[in-house]
Every structure is written in C-alpha cells, then in structure tokens.
C-alpha cells in the first residue's frame, strides 16, 4: 500500500484490489488448512459433509448481516444435510 489509510474508503483503487486479493488468499488458506485437518481426523467423506454444513451455516450468518431482513435462522442445516443424504 502506498500510503497509510485509516479507513477502507480512503484506499486507492489499486490498494483496495490488493486488500480484496489478500483477504481471498487468507480465506483460501484458512479453508484448506481446516479441511485438511478435518479429513485427517474424520476421513474425506465426513470432512466434505462437515464442510457443507459449516458453509451453509456460515453463509446464513453472513447473509443476515448483509441482506436487510436476511436471517441466519431456519432449518437446522446439519439435520437438513443429514436427511438429504439418507
């Protein structure tokens, strides 16, 4: 970054792009390490099931903060995914 910015709004277009790319990179690394550890402990099938459940819950939580009237509540995703696989 070329200059110190106290707020995201103060970043240049290039610095904003760099920040977004850095955040994507960190998210990818986080999920890669997380999935690798869950796979190590529980096996690939259970790791993928767990990732699906965690992703559904995470998206619901994030959407409730982004979309007016959005809700993180709803059917228990773990039970929903489990019933779909049965």
Please give the model's pTM, rounded to 2 decimal places. Answer: 0.61
Angle at 49 between CA 20 and CA 62, to 5 degrees: 35
Q: Which two tokens stand for residue 56?
A: 């559904």
Q: Check residue 20 and report its DSSP letter.
A: H
Q: Which two tokens stand for residue 66?
A: 């982004």
Q: Quote the pLDDT of residue 85.
A: 53
Q: Quote the pLDDT of residue 66.
A: 83
53: three-class secondary structure by DSSP: helix
Q: pLDDT tens string for the chain (86 positions)?
A: 456 888 989 999 999 999 999 999 999 999 999 999 999 999 999 999 999 999 999 898 888 888 776 655 544 444 544 555 55
The torsion of the CA quartet 15, 33, 36, 63, rounded to 10 degrees, works out to -60
- Give the start-end residues of each E strand in 1-86: none
Give the chain's length: 86
């Amino acid at each position: 970054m070329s200059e110190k910015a106290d707020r995201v709004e103060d970043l240049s277009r290039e610095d904003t792009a760099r920040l977004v790319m850095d955040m994507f990179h960190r998210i990818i690394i986080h999920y890669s390490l997380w999935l690798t550890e869950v796979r190590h402990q529980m096996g690939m099938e259970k790791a993928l099931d767990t990732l699906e459940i965690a992703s559904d819950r995470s998206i619901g939580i994030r959407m409730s903060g982004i979309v007016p009237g959005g809700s993180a509540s709803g059917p228990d995703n773990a039970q929903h995914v489990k019933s779909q696989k049965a």
